[in-house]
Chains A and B, each alone.
Chain A
């Protein structure tokens, strides 16, 4: 996982570099919670540019982080979502509460928004 924190707008970008299934979701969850509690960001951005596979374990993992962000009064977005991953998101209805945003300014993470 590649972690970028932008002090200016207090946004934390987590670029997930694993396939997201039940096995890896637990590892991603532990690391994400550590980073969220470290920075207490106003915005959490999950960058999926390196994710080529995700099953429903990803939905549970993302909703868990969303609950944590809500608890801290922050917001959450997702970006760079591949079509097959988006298909799982669409089926779950998760996009109604956690929208996908277009990245501004190319592929450099941490500078979006």
Chain B
């Protein structure tokens, strides 16, 4: 039953780049309750790092704002919702294209959304210009013990 959650947590922090490691490590630590593999944990950390970095660099640019992360644990999956109240994304389809970036001068690779999409099982991006962006990602944690039976 996917709509019945087992556990939940919310995290709020300033959009400072020094919080990128804090954010991904905290989410990974919370996700560890599902007993994920090393690869699954690494995928989650990378995807969270991408989303949080996007909020810092693109959402808030030179300003400082609040980034909110909500994590919901289900029986065999984790949902991660990352929200900012930044400037929003003008063209989501374009932003999702591999190698597309609006900030090449910062040596951004344009791979953020591609990594989130590939490392997680689902990705939803909602954005309103001048209001903010909400990224919802889900990762299914495979139960190796069960599948080995």
| B53 CB contact (under 8 Å) in A53, A55, A64, A92 | A55
Given A59-B111, A60-B108, A91-B115, residue A21 in contact with residue B21 (CB < 8 A)? yes
**Range of interface residues on chain B?**
20 to 34
Name A's interface SS. helix
A105 sits at the interface (CB 8 A): no
The answer to whether A64 touches B107 (Cβ under 8 A) is yes
| A22 CB contact (under 8 Å) in B38, B57, B111, B114 | B57
The answer to whether A56 touches B50 (Cβ under 8 A) is yes
B93 sits at the interface (CB 8 A): no
Residue ID in chain A nearest B18 by CB atoms: A23
The answer to whether A23 touches B20 (Cβ under 8 A) is yes
Docked CA distance A61–B106 (Å): 9
What chain A residues lie within 8 Å of B46 (beta carbons)?
Answer: 53-55, 84, 88
| B109 CB contact (under 8 Å) in A29, A56, A84, A87 | A56
A57 sits at the interface (CB 8 A): yes
Docked CA distance A113–B127 (Å): 49
Docked CA distance A36–B15 (Å): 32
| B106 CB contact (under 8 Å) in A23, A60, A83, A87 | A60
Interface code B33-64, partner A: CB below 8 Å = 1, 0 otherwise?
00000110011011001100100110000000
Q: Which residues of B does A touch, CB under 8 Å? A: 17-18, 20-21, 24, 38-39, 42-43, 45-46, 49-50, 53, 56-57, 106-112, 114-115, 118-119
10 further A-B contacts with Cβ under 8 Å, apart from A23-B17, A53-B46, A83-B39, are: A22-B57, A23-B18, A55-B46, A55-B50, A59-B109, A61-B107, A64-B107, A84-B43, A91-B115, A91-B118
